[in-house]
Amino acid sequence: MKKTGILNADIAAVVAGMGHLDTITVADAGLPIPDAVLRIDLVVRPNLPRFMDVTSAILEELIVQEAIIAREMVEVSPETYDVLRARLGETPIRLVSHSEFKQLTAQSKAVVRSGEFTPYANVILVAGVAF
């Protein structure tokens, strides 16, 4: 049994298989997930697990060169945005409309669905390189 890092086998496999510019989406409980994209559903009940818990676990293992969020997060859920901004550090954040965000999820290697009930608590992480 693995004892550190991401213990969920599906998430660990996706992260390990990602290359430069591949994307993974961490979603709240309500984001529609395209049928053709791998759905990793973690939701147990409202707010379990939390969006930032899942996002932070992935950020510990994935080199991220850019994050993409819906600009609505900044307006409607500023506390979530502030925590995400702090966790991403110097990583650039690209703001798009929620409609465009939903379209971009179709290109993700996977969408990890959290139990988050905060509106617009979604992020697309764009993989970078270690060199």
Q: Which residues form the catalytic set?
A: 20
Specify the 3-state DSSP secondary structure of 6: coil
Q: 63-72 b/e with 16+ CB inside 10 Å = b?
A: ebebbbbbbb
Q: Quote the CA–CA distance of 24 and 98 in Å, as a whole number.
A: 16
Q: Which backbone phi and psi does 124 adopt, to 5 degrees?
A: -105, 125
Length of the chain: 131
